[in-house]
Amino acid sequence: MLGGDQEPGCCYVGVDVGTGSVRAALVDQRGVLLAFADQPIHKWEPEFNHHEQSSEDIWAACCVVTKEIPIETSSCGWTTEQSVRSTGSTKPSTVSCSTWGA
C-alpha cells in the first residue's frame, strides 16, 4: 500500500509478467515508487531451453498483484512476452512444444 505520508493523486501502475513472477509497481507523477507487489508463477522446462507457463496461473498472479496496489490510479501499463491462444472455449489453450501444430 501507500507508504509514508503520500496522498492519493495522479499515480500509475506498471505490471510486468516475467519468467518467474508477475510484478506490479505504483509510481507517482515524479516516478517515485509508492508500492510494489510480486507474485511467483510456475514454470516448466520440458526439455533444454524450452520453458512453459500456465496462462491461468499468470492471470491469477496478475489479479493478486493488482489487488495489492491501491486502485486510485490514472493509468495502468502491461508488458509481457507471452501469448495466450484461445480455441473459442472459456479456458486458454496451452502453447507448448507438445501442442504446436495441434
At which residue does the C-alpha cell 501499463 appear? Answer: 77
Tell me how far CA of residue 102 lies from CA of 24, 49, 51, 99, in angstroms.
Answer: 34, 21, 18, 5
Instruction: Check pLDDT > 90 for residue 36.
Output: yes
- Mean per-residue pLDDT for 47-66? 86
Domains, the chain, with CATH or none: 11-96 (3.30.420.40)
Task: Provide φ and ψ at 55, rounded to 5°.
Answer: -60, -35
Tens digit of each residue's pLDDT (9 = 90 or more) over 72-88: 655 556 655 555 555 66
- The model's confidence at residue 21, banded by pLDDT at 50, 70 and 90, is very high
pLDDT of 1 reads 44
